[in-house]
Structure 1
Amino acid sequence: MHSWTDTLRFAFQPVVNLVTGAVAGLEILARPETGDILAEARRDPELDGRLAVSAIRAAARRETLLPLHVNVFAATLADLGGLTPLHTAVREAGRLPWEVTVDIGPPYTHVPRQALLEAVDALRSQGFRISADGVGDGDVPLRLLTDLAPDLVKLDASLLTRPAAVRAMRTLCEQLGALLSVEGVETEFQCTAAVTAGAQLAQGELFAPPARLPAADVYVPPRSPGAAPLPRSGPSVRQFVRPAALLPATASAGHVRALLTGSPEVSGVVLVDAHGVPVRSVHRSRFLLSMSGRYGHALYADRPAAKLGDVPRTVGVDATAWEVLDVVAVGGRDRTSDDVAVVDRYGRCVGVVRLADLVRALAESRVEEAAGLNPLTRLPGSDAVTGEVDRRIADGRAFALSWLDVDHFKQVNDGAGFAAGDELIRSVGRMLQRSASDSTRVGHIGGDDFLILADPEGLDPVAASVLDAPWSAGGLPVSLSLATVLCMPGSVTDHRQAAAWLAPLKKAAKALRGASWVLGRAGMPGHEVRRGSAAATASAAHPGRA
């Protein structure tokens, strides 16, 4: 009698890192030659659990070193209370649980919520990573998604036509500490949309179709010149994580040599203890050089590889690219090409980052920034400031957005000459830069207009520095006008709404004489006059508020 396993085959589809272009993992997909075993598995949790175990064993036969993604229905986890046989299969395959991501798929309707959450906790305690699959095209409740707190959210490509929804999901992922992936990417347009919306990972026919043999190469479209630059505060190390070649700390040098010579794409090996914590780092070139020297193989082959390794360099999964560079800068120059191990909150290695990836991405971000600098002041334009405004809104942070300009600047240019006007603008820009704290962003919109983004408590020093200074151009006295809108958490939804609240405040500031400063609050009527006096034609009936 034929078993369902007789006609079942598995295919592998790469999960691609959109920043580095590297393969970040392989999703194992069941491909039955007859019947619809997936429909049966949806109704039969035991069968679904056996499919997951078979998927791991199929990957083991392909000897892939990449992290794996295994599909399981939500109802299966809730019914079985976890997947103990999966843990056994992973161990027997010589893999570590944190190299395996369990993709939990819909339907979620009628799945007992508490039972599902307990099963996910059980998987996490064993070391497995959790992915919420089919989001956007399935029925996963938003509340359940936040309770699952997945390490990865897989979004259906159909949502790319709704960029606001994708950006909102990216914001949620940032709050949950999760990565965002897009499934079903088939065109370069979709890939560009995924990158623009902030997705870090993707998979689909564009990169590589599912295949019986894991793909050695994938196609990743070149980054568009108009793509959004990386955040000035430093991109997250999560964007650059590559799969790590992990071996037990007790592995012999011969075992490591076999892995490296059989996998030319592997730049090094991380030796981990029983809990997955890095204990030694083996650099490919230095290791093979030691092994290939005279008597090297005879001396080291059967000895622990740890003797030829170095103390690992590690960073937390929440680190920025700049922090990784700080780690690389410490120590001898002979280790600048070493991989840096990325560890989770338990200290377990979840991947590595390569210096070349970081340098390339940071260089691209600097080129993007340089292209957007104002040639007169060398300050960034409005995009840099408004992008940071949106990030602070997403983080639920209070902020103060200000607009500064020179009063009657056209008359200044006409009376003192454009050279004096240019020097005045440069001087204002330098003063703003000197007075800005680390959390303050200054942008030069053009002409005599500047944008200033600051924490509410950091606003007064910046305002005082520019409004108290005696400005002049060509010997003619000049005054400045400052308008500020305070935005508390929840008061605005994006930078456009903040700018809309700021516009009437600028008009009010320009209506005052002398160095002026008007401050308002988003969502509240009226404003406060902090500097300046009413013009001669204006009523003096309201000296403090308007």
Structure 2
Amino acid sequence: MRSWTDSLRFVFQPVVNLATGGIVALEILARPEAGDVLAEARRDAELDGTLAVSAVRAAVRKETTLPLHVNVFAGTLADLGGLTPLHDAVRGAGRLPWEVTVDVGPPYTHVPQHALLEAVGALREQGFRISADGVGDGDVPLRLLTDLGPDLVKLDASLLARSAAVKSMRTLCEELGTLLAVEGVETEGQCAAAHRAGAQLAQGNLFAPPARVPVTDVYVPPAAFGAEGPTRSGPSVREFVRPAALLPDSASAGQVRALLTGSPDVSGVLLVDRDGVPVRSVHRSRFLLSMSGRYGHALYADRPAAKLGDAPRTVGIDATAWEVLDVVADGGRARTSDDVAVVDAYGRCVGVARLADLVRALSETRVEEAAGLNPLTRLPGSDAITGEVDRRIAGGWTFALSWLDVDHFKQVNDGAGFAAGDELIRSVGRLLQRTASGSTRVGHIGGDDFLVLADLEGLDPLAASVLDAPWSAGGLPVTVSLATVVCGPGSVVDHREAAACLAPLKKAAKALSGASWVLGRAGAPGHEVRRGAEPASGRAECAAG
């Protein structure tokens, strides 16, 4: 009698890194040729667990060295706990648990959340990584998602039409230290939208459809690399992690040679201990050169590969690309082409970062930043500030958005000359930049207009420094006006609404004499005058009235 396994096949779909265009993992998908095994697995935890084990074994038969994504229903984890058979299957196949991500999928309705969280904790203890699958098109509660604290969130591509939702999820992922992936990407437009929204990973038929044989190359639209991403002071190394070629630290030189000659794209091998912590790093070219020398194979083939390796260079998963470059620079010129091992909080290897990927991305970032800088002050323009305003709104932050300008600037230019006017603007920009601290952002939006985005704690010191400064141009005294709107969670929907709230405050500040500061709150009537006085004519009119 034929069993359900006789009609079951597995296919592989690549997970693509949008920053590098490389394949970072393979998701294994069950494809029954008869019957509806997946529907049964949703109701039968034992069957679903067996499918996960079968998926790992199917990948082993294809001899792929890429990390794997294995699907499991949330209810299965709650019923079975830590999926010990999956751990045994991974170890028995010669793979390591941290090379496997468990994609936890819906439905979540009626799943005991405490039992699910305990099971996820058990998987983590075994070394597995966790992905929350089907987010946005499933029923995962937001509180449960944050409690899970997954390593990866997979967002359904249908949400790309709702950019605010995707950006909000990106903000949540940043807070959780989680990567964001978009699955089901079918068009180049969706790919570009995923990149703009800040997703680091994606998968879908655009890159490569599911196939019985794992692909080694994917199509990534060139526009994806040029798409405008989120404004960040320095990209995270998470965005550039490539799969690592791992072998146990007891591996022989012959085993390393077999892996390298069978995988021409692998630039090096990391030797790890039983816990997945890198112990030695074997560089492809240096290793093969040693092996190819006279008597090299005879001398080294059966000896530990560790003897031909170097001390690994490692960075934490939360490091920035600039910190990785520092590690590369400290390693000496002979090792600039070595991969840098990226490790988690337990020191376990989660992948490698390559110098070429980092340099390209940092160069593009600097070019984009330079193009957006004001040529007079070298401060970013309005796009950088408004983008950060939208990010803080999506994150539910309280912040203060301020507009600053020089009073009667046209008269300053006419009386002191444009060169003195330019120097005054540069001086204002330098002081704002010097005073800004923490999360404060300063932008020069043209002429004598500046935007300042700050937390409430940093607002008073910055205002005092700029309002108390003895400004002058060509020997003529000058004053400045400051208008601030405080935006609490839910008070504005985007930067346009925040700017609309700021406009009347700006008018009120300009109506005051001397250095002035007016502060209001989004959604609340009226404003508070913190600096400045009513002009004499205004006071006389009020008295007469």
TM range (shorter): over 0.9
Structure 1 residue 309: deviation in Å? 1.3
Structure 1 equivalent of residue 116 of structure 2: 116
Q: Measure, in 2, the Cα distance between the counterparts of 1:541 and 1:530.
A: 22
Contact persistence 2:28–2:71 (CA under 8 A): yes
Amino acid at match of 1:150: P
Structure 1 residue 88: deviation in Å? 0.9
Matches within 5 A, 1:102-181: 102-181=102-181
Q: Measure, in 2, the Cα distance between the counterparts of 1:181 and 1:437.
A: 32
Relative to structure 1, the CA distance from residue 323 to residue 487 in structure 2 (aligned partners, 3 Å threshold; closer, same or farther) is farther
Contact persistence 1:241–1:353 (CA under 8 A): yes
Contact persistence 2:321–2:358 (CA under 8 A): yes
Structure 2 equivalent of residue 405 of structure 1: 405
Structure 1 equivalent of residue 431 of structure 2: 431
Amino acid at match of 1:88: D
Amino acid at match of 2:221: P
Structure 1 residue 435: deviation in Å? 3.6
Query: Is the aligned partner of 1:374 residue 2:386?
Result: no
Contact persistence 2:167–2:391 (CA under 8 A): no
Structure 1 equivalent of residue 268 of structure 2: 268
Q: Measure, in 2, the Cα distance between the counterparts of 1:99 and 1:253.
A: 22
Q: Measure, in 1, the Cα distance between the counterparts of 2:341 and 2:541.
A: 66
Q: Measure, in 1, the Cα distance between the counterparts of 2:342 and 2:211.
A: 29
Structure 1 residue 419: deviation in Å? 4.1
Q: Measure, in 1, the Cα distance between the counterparts of 2:224 and 2:262.
A: 35
Contact persistence 2:402–2:482 (CA under 8 A): yes
Structure 1 segments (4+ residues) deviating >6 Å: none
Structure 1 equivalent of residue 84 of structure 2: 84
Relative to structure 1, the CA distance from residue 145 to residue 410 in structure 2 (aligned partners, 3 Å threshold; closer, same or farther) is same
Q: Measure, in 2, the Cα distance between the counterparts of 1:327 and 1:492.
A: 42
Relative to structure 1, the CA distance from residue 409 to residue 191 in structure 2 (aligned partners, 3 Å threshold; closer, same or farther) is same
Amino acid at match of 1:413: N
Deviations 1:373-403 (A, max 9, x none): 1222222101222333344455665544321
Q: Measure, in 1, the Cα distance between the counterparts of 2:540 and 2:253.
A: 86
Amino acid at match of 2:262: G
SS at match of 2:103: strand
Deviations 1:219-250 (A, max 9, x none): 11124587334534211111111111111111
Relative to structure 1, the CA distance from residue 468 to residue 199 in structure 2 (aligned partners, 3 Å threshold; closer, same or farther) is same
Structure 1 equivalent of residue 508 of structure 2: 508
SS at match of 2:539: coil
Q: Measure, in 2, the Cα distance between the counterparts of 1:144 and 1:466.
A: 46
Q: Measure, in 1, the Cα distance between the counterparts of 2:179 and 2:5.
A: 34
Deviations 1:185-227 (A, max 9, x none): 0000011111111111111000000111111110111245873
Amino acid at match of 1:13: Q
SS at match of 1:312: coil
Amino acid at match of 1:154: K
Structure 2 equivalent of residue 358 of structure 1: 358
Matches within 5 A, 1:301-312: 301-312=301-312
SS at match of 2:518: strand
Structure 2 equivalent of residue 200 of structure 1: 200
Relative to structure 1, the CA distance from residue 265 to residue 148 in structure 2 (aligned partners, 3 Å threshold; closer, same or farther) is same
Structure 1 equivalent of residue 47 of structure 2: 47
Amino acid at match of 1:125: E
Contact persistence 1:373–1:380 (CA under 8 A): yes
Contact persistence 1:229–1:369 (CA under 8 A): no
Contact persistence 2:198–2:230 (CA under 8 A): no
Comparing 392-401 with 187-196, greater Cα deviation is found at 392-401
Structure 1 equivalent of residue 331 of structure 2: 331
Contact persistence 1:229–1:365 (CA under 8 A): no
Contact persistence 1:252–1:303 (CA under 8 A): yes
SS at match of 1:537: helix
TM-score normalised to structure 1 length:
0.93
Structure 1 residue 103: deviation in Å? 1.0
Structure 2 equivalent of residue 537 of structure 1: 537
Amino acid at match of 2:444: H
Comparing 200-209 with 393-402, greater Cα deviation is found at 393-402
SS at match of 1:389: helix
Q: Measure, in 2, the Cα distance between the counterparts of 1:320 and 1:514.
A: 44
Q: Measure, in 2, the Cα distance between the counterparts of 1:540 and 1:126.
A: 78
Structure 1 residue 7: deviation in Å? 2.1
Structure 2 equivalent of residue 9 of structure 1: 9
Structure 1 residue 491: deviation in Å? 5.6
Structure 1 residue 9: deviation in Å? 1.4
Matches within 5 A, 1:378-457: 378-393=378-393, 398-437=398-437, 439-457=439-457
Comparing 281-290 with 393-402, greater Cα deviation is found at 393-402
Structure 2 equivalent of residue 56 of structure 1: 56
Structure 1 residue 357: deviation in Å? 0.9
Structure 1 equivalent of residue 23 of structure 2: 23
Contact persistence 1:248–1:271 (CA under 8 A): yes
SS at match of 2:506: helix
Comparing 187-196 with 226-235, greater Cα deviation is found at 226-235
Percent identity for Structure 1 against Structure 2: 83
Deviations 1:479-501 (A, max 9, x none): 21122334566665544444344
Structure 2 residues not aligned, in runs of 5+:
none
TM-score normalised to structure 2 length:
0.93
Structure 1 residue 283: deviation in Å? 1.4
Structure 1 residue 33: deviation in Å? 2.1
SS at match of 2:361: helix
Q: Measure, in 1, the Cα distance between the counterparts of 2:115 and 2:411.
A: 73
SS at match of 2:59: helix
Structure 2 equivalent of residue 218 of structure 1: 218
SS at match of 2:299: helix
Structure 1 equivalent of residue 297 of structure 2: 297
Structure 2 equivalent of residue 96 of structure 1: 96
Relative to structure 1, the CA distance from residue 23 to residue 402 in structure 2 (aligned partners, 3 Å threshold; closer, same or farther) is same
SS at match of 1:538: helix
Query: Is the aligned partner of 1:186 residue 2:186?
Result: yes
Relative to structure 1, the CA distance from residue 460 to residue 111 in structure 2 (aligned partners, 3 Å threshold; closer, same or farther) is closer
Comparing 410-419 with 52-61, greater Cα deviation is found at 410-419
SS at match of 1:341: strand
Contact persistence 1:229–1:368 (CA under 8 A): no
Relative to structure 1, the CA distance from residue 329 to residue 541 in structure 2 (aligned partners, 3 Å threshold; closer, same or farther) is farther
Amino acid at match of 2:143: R
Deviations 1:10-55 (A, max 9, x none): 1100000111111010001112222222122222222221111111
Amino acid at match of 1:535: P
Amino acid at match of 1:300: Y
SS at match of 2:280: strand
Q: Measure, in 2, the Cα distance between the counterparts of 1:438 and 1:333.
A: 35
Amino acid at match of 2:347: G
Structure 2 equivalent of residue 485 of structure 1: 485
Deviations 1:481-531 (A, max 9, x none): 122334566665544444344333222211111222223444554444333
Q: Measure, in 2, the Cα distance between the counterparts of 1:261 and 1:374.
A: 51
Deviations 1:406-429 (A, max 9, x none): 112233334444444333323322
Structure 1 residue 176: deviation in Å? 2.1
Amino acid at match of 2:22: A
Q: Measure, in 2, the Cα distance between the counterparts of 1:364 and 1:104.
A: 35
Amino acid at match of 2:512: L
Give me the CA root mean square deviation: 2.3
Structure 1 equivalent of residue 284 of structure 2: 284
Amino acid at match of 1:320: T
Structure 1 equivalent of residue 341 of structure 2: 341
Structure 2 equivalent of residue 257 of structure 1: 257
Q: Measure, in 2, the Cα distance between the counterparts of 1:469 and 1:437.
A: 18
Q: Measure, in 2, the Cα distance between the counterparts of 1:143 and 1:96.
A: 30
Q: Measure, in 2, the Cα distance between the counterparts of 1:388 and 1:531.
A: 27
